[in-house]
Structure 1
Amino acid sequence: MNELFKEKVHVAFLGWEIERIVQPVIKMRATRLILICLPREEEGAWKYLLEIKRILEGEKITVDVIETSLYKMVSLLEILNKIFQVETRLGNEIYINVSAGTKITACASTIASMSTPGITAYYVRTKDYYPRNHMTFPQTLTKGIKEIFALPECQIDVPEGKYIKVLFAIERGEKELGGKVYLKTLIEDLKNMKVINVRPNSDPRKQASSEYMAMNKLLKQLQEWDYINISDKRRNKYITITRKGKDAVKMYLDYELDSKVIEKHHKQSIKEIIQLMDVPGELKLD
């Protein structure tokens, strides 16, 4: 993307407050806010969302709304993973407000920013706090901004991409094959994904042996992390992915997005773009 047209994109979670979300966006001269909230029928703070949109749109700042649960850690990390990948591929600067929303969104946004290079997380310290049970709209949970400060950059190590690709292949294989993925099938899948890439050998048996060794090295590590289970059978061994492994795919999968393809969808909202990431052959890993 042309540096002259790079956007400053902020991500925040809806709470019972307005200034804590709006002021950093305006003060830091953002071009767009991605506001994540509960589904409208469940969101008690919807009036606050409308006021946030009114204020920011008055400042010519676009507000994209994504509706999801604010109480499911893995789902939140999955959404943030997708948002960060799309905006990063477009060359945009990404900031995330960890101070608004629920305690779980605060944890998720902090973990996500520490797991992804180039993301700036910040906290907004307010002047006054009010008891929630004494509030009526347009009164907010907090009032006034005392300070906005960035969190320190503390990188969290996540599994290498090759391990997440193996998990992705196993999970996809389970869906297509009815629950069991056999070693031979998995090897072919990983070769097509270029996860296994051993030196060619004219002897088919030696070639197959090299491929099995390369795959077993990957599987051994995934088993140690409790991401997969491997059957005890000596022949026709099969692999199943655990819940922990499925969560890892959601939180860490690199969708290998093509920025040119994403730019073709530039008129669509971030919500619509990340939905396309789950459609085979659109934006994501094949």
Structure 2
Amino acid sequence: MINIFTKQIHLVFNSREKDRITKPILDHPPNKLYYFTAYIRDTGQKDQNLSYLEQNIELLKNKLPQLEIIQKEVDYANYIEVIQEISKIIKDEREENPNCEIYINVGSGSKLTGIASVEAAKLWDCDIYYVYSTDYNPSGEGPEHKGEMILIEPLTFPLKKPKELYIKILKLIDKLIQERYKGKDYNEKKKKFIYKKDLVEQLYKEKVLTLQNKNKDERKLKASKYMNSKKYLNRLNSELNYINVSDHKRNKKIYLTKEGKEVLQIFRYHF
């Protein structure tokens, strides 16, 4: 249940709704509200329900003059962007106050913002709530939900996050790829890569990985680094599918996969 004694942050997504958005906020006043509006980048469409945004914000400001409201625009059709925006808010708020409680309304917005919100809540240990009503009429005029508003807090199951170490390795791979191609003419049809030998060296140079015992013999030290890093790179390649490692016997190449790039975007503001 919502705790009234700790700093609360609410996140909502604009839609053709009034009470479904405002009632939980009025009943459980937060300290800060992030209010998202829609923008579909691929089609250039703007939020069609800005009149509801204006009415809802006017009501909230009248009823809760102390409430800090921050409006943000997000692509309602871009899962990665939605979860990334939520992740950034969570990171910033918890850096400011580690004990703050964050609640996300998963009933407003689009189906995709709802999915992304649930996933973000699992990843970052937030709370979600869903509001429905006794009078639902999506084809009628005015708000889709009228009548009595009913708030529930759905049970969710934990989502297993990638270990922090794997995210750090991915970030290093991405950084090295960017550095390798910086200022160079590049054929976009070809995938960008780094050499495995360069990555392994940087993993230890930047202390992402460490060795318990450092051999004084350079060849043996190099072999130890390769053996120690192998289990992590193999998992990123074979199990998680975040990278691809080429089949070359020498000078193996490492590429970021589509999944790896998406994970980097999701965890851009964390770890």
User: Match for residue 161 of structure 1?
Assistant: 164
Q: 1:185 aligns with which of 175, 198, 207?
A: 198
The alignment status of 1:86 with 2:87, answered yes or no, reads no
Task: With the length of structure 2 as denominator, give the TM-score of the two structures.
Answer: 0.84
The 3-state SS of whatever aligns with 1:171 is helix
Percent identity between the two aligned chains: 29
1:127 counterpart = 2:130: no
SS of 1:39's equivalent?
Answer: strand
Output the aligned Cα RMSD. Answer: 2.0
- CA displacement at 1:183 relative to structure 2: 1.8
* Distance in 2 of aligned mates of 1:255 and 1:104: 22
Picking from 166, 171, 178, the partner of 2:174 is 171
Q: 2: distance between equivalents of 1:188 and 1:20?
A: 54
Q: Tell whether 2:264 aligns with 1:252.
A: no
Q: Which residue number corresponds to residue 196 of structure 1?
A: 209
Q: Which has the larger radius of gyration?
A: 2
Once the two structures are superposed, residues 20-56 of structure 1 have per-residue CA deviations (whole angstroms, 9 ceiling, x without a partner) of 1111112112111111221396110111111222122
**Do 1:120 and 1:151's aligned partners in 2 also have CA atoms closer than 8 Å?**
no
- 1:83 is matched by which residue type in structure 2? I
The residue aligned with 2:70 is 64
| Per-residue deviation, residues 204-249 of structure 1 (Å, max 9, x unmatched) | 2222222212222111111122211111111111101011110011
Q: In structure 2, what is the equivalent of residue 261 of structure 1?
A: none
Partner letter of residue 247 of structure 1?
A: E
Contact 2:17 2:52 in 1 (8 A): yes
Secondary structure of the structure 1 residue equivalent to 2:250: coil
Q: CA deviation at 1:156?
A: 0.7
Tell me the equivalent position of 2:120: 112
What is the Cα deviation at residue 193 of structure 1? 4.2
Gaps of 5+ in 2: 182-191
* AA aligned opposite 2:244: N
**Counterparts of 2:206 and 2:86 in 1: how far apart (Å)?**
25
Cα 1:66–1:126 change in 2 (3 A) is same
Distance change >3 Å, CA 194–CA 53, structure 1 → 2: farther
Change (3 A) 1:254 1:66: closer
What is the aligned length?
247
Q: Is the 8 A contact 2:130 2:154 kept in 1?
A: yes
In structure 1, what residue type is equivalent to 2:111?
K
What is the identity, as a one-letter code, of the residue corresponding to 1:33? L
Aligned residue for 1:143? 146
Distance 1:101 1:55, change over 3 A: same
TM-score where L is the length of structure 1: 0.80
Residue aligning to 1:95: 103
Per the TM alignment, residue 172 of structure 1 is displaced from its structure 2 partner at its CA by 2.2
2:50: which partner in 1? 46
Flag structure 1 segments of 5+ consecutive residues without an equivalent. 257-286
The aligned counterpart of 2:234 is 220
Is this contact kept in 1: 2:193–2:256, CA < 8 A?
A: no
- Give the aligned partner of residue 27 of structure 2: 27
* Residues 19, 149 of structure 2: 8 Å contact kept: no
Deviant stretches of 4+, over 6 Å: none
